[in-house]
Amino acid sequence: MQYRQLGRTGLCVSSVAMGCWPVSGLTSPDVNVDDSLATLRAALDAGISFLDTAWSYGTSEELIAQVLSERTADVVIATKGGLDRTSDGRQFHAASSVDLKRQCDGSLRRLRRESVELYYLHAADPAVSLAESAGAIAELIQAGKVRSAGASNLTLAQLREFHAICPLTAIQPAYNMLQREIESEVLPWCRAERISVCVYWPLLKGLLSGRLSREHVFADGDGRKKYPMFQGQEWQRNQDLVDELRQISDGLGISLTTLVVAWTVQQCGITSALCGAKRSWQIRESAAGGGLQLHPEVLEAVERALSQRGPAETRAAV
């Protein structure tokens, strides 16, 4: 596993982080507490020292606290505020100063911690100024509840505005082989400002793991089936890409997941890939990508496969 500086904090984080959304089971019908705890333990055993969670991820923060209570582990926890859930699970924006402070206190309670290393604004709240949300996180830092600030799902203009009020340590955008929009402007800006880039969806919700067959039928309650990339012609074209990529990973004697994660963390300016998992073997395969250096000819072969695939429909579900 490679370890990298987290912004200007002096902290180091693993290049593969465990994304703790799937273990909550909120949009995954096939998750139970035992598997979730085992997956978290496997992540730590594989050298992962960076856990990504959020107030809106249901029980995820409590599961992390439980696993960390069993061992002494030097782990950086990132959590997020600004999105909340109704009692029946629907997500809504809640990023006012009052909301963020309440959610942060709630996260610390669930995590059984007095402070957290990194606290992200999960998303801008259309009903609240960004200045208010950024100011609230700056106050949480002053209060000693949060050591550093992050922001997720913001445009470059919004990131600049946030950074001027509350200096950013990390951002959290979507990034993977098929979603590379941040490469043109956001990544260069982060490099110049020494802001870490911790990316979500490295496996495109499992699509780039290659384990979902062309005939895969998503179970009721599986949140993925509403995304265009898992449907119709887009799905078939994505499967063609997976076939091409699998030839490359087979040639190297590694799993497709390991290749995809290694590619992600080797891209210039990427600090860490937040890899979601529900099973121990899954996070082990992803973690293996954090310790693998791909040769230039492998990277070129991946680029060829991607240009053959062409632009993808990766918009969120409606």
* Footprint on this chain of ligand NAP (rule: CB under 6 A): 19-22, 52, 122, 152-153, 172, 200-206, 209, 211, 257, 274-278, 282, 285-286
Beta-carbon count within 10 A of 83 CB: 22
Which is nearer to ligand NAP, 296 or 316 (by Cβ)?
316
Which is nearer to ligand NAP, 81 or 202 (by Cβ)?
202
User: In the bound complex, what is the minimum distance in angstroms from residue 212's beta carbon to ligand NAP?
Assistant: 6
User: In the bound complex, what is the minimum distance in angstroms from residue 274's beta carbon to ligand NAP?
Assistant: 4
Report the 3 state secondary structure along 6-64: CCCCCCEEECEEEECCHHHCCCCCCCCHHHHHHHHHHHHHCCCCEEECCCCCCCHHHHH
DSSP label at residue 288: H
Element (H, E) at 74: none
Cα first-last separation, the chain: 37
Which is nearer to ligand NAP, 92 or 143 (by Cβ)?
92
Q: Which residues are bridge partners to 79 per DSSP?
A: 119
User: In the bound complex, what is the minimum distance in angstroms from residue 296's beta carbon to ligand NAP?
Assistant: 25
Which residue sits closest to ligand NAP, CB atoms considered? 276
User: In the bound complex, what is the minimum distance in angstroms from residue 47's beta carbon to ligand NAP?
Assistant: 16
Which is nearer to ligand NAP, 289 or 305 (by Cβ)?
289
Q: Give me the catalytic one of 3, 57, 120, 227.
A: 57
57 is catalytic: yes
Altogether, the residues listed in the chain come to a count of 318
Cα–Cα distance, 85 to 304 (Å, whole number):
42
Handedness of CA 142, 148, 154, 157 (dihedral sign): positive
Task: Give catalytic residues, as residue numbers.
Answer: 57
